[in-house]
């Protein structure tokens, strides 16, 4: 009898084969085969499936390649200002009134566009 695989995320549930894992890149939806935890629902696409999705997304021009830009900070009054390049502004569909979440992770600053307004 095959040994039951335990979920590496929650260590409680078992992993069952599924064929409906959804990945979305640049407005395209990809369906992959893999395994899903019976307890927490975490999904683990098979490596070959993931590579097929990456290859297809690259062909479509929507695979998120790493992007590292260098900018100088400027000052406006007593506040530091970071200017976002126009091409990145367009890609991320940023507007003047958008809210962003700014998170410090170690020595990095992560800026994420918020989809909904928070009452802060």
Alpha-carbon distance of 60 to 58, in angstroms, equals 5
* Contacts for 5 with CB less than 8 Å, ≥ 6 apart: 14, 15, 35
CA distances from 12 to 3, 41, 101, 103 (A): 15, 11, 33, 31
pLDDT at 88: 81
Q: Looking at residues 11-33, what average pLDDT do you find?
A: 91
Decide: 112 and 101 in contact? Cβ < 8 Å: yes
The band of 66, judged by pLDDT with boundaries at 50, 70 and 90, is low
Which fold, 74-113? Answer: Pemi-like Protein 1; Chain: D (2.10.260)
Would you list the domain boundaries of the chain? 15-60, 74-113
Decide: 11 and 18 in contact? Cβ < 8 Å: no
Burial state string for 25-47 with b = 16 or more CB within 10 A and e = fewer than 16: beeeebebebbbbeeeeebbbee
pLDDT at 17: 96
Alpha-carbon distance of 4 to 14, in angstroms, equals 7
pLDDT at 116: 64
Q: Is the dihedral of CA 93, 96, 100, 104 positive or negative?
A: positive
Its pTM stands at 0.52
pLDDT at 46: 94
């Amino acid at each position: 009898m095959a040994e039951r695989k335990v979920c590496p995320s929650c260590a409680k549930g078992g992993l069952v084969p599924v064929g409906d894992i959804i990945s979305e890149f640049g407005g395209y939806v990809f369906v992959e085969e893999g395994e899903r935890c019976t307890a927490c629902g975490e999904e683990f696409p098979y490596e070959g499936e993931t590579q097929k999705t990456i290859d297809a997304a690259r062909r479509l021009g929507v695979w998120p390649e790493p992007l590292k830009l260098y900018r100088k900070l400027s000052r406006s009054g007593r506040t530091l200002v970071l200017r976002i390049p126009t091409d990145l502004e367009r890609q991320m569909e940023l507007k003047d009134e958008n809210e962003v979440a700014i998170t410090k992770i170690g020595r990095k600053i992560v800026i994420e566009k918020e989809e909904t307004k928070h009452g802060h």
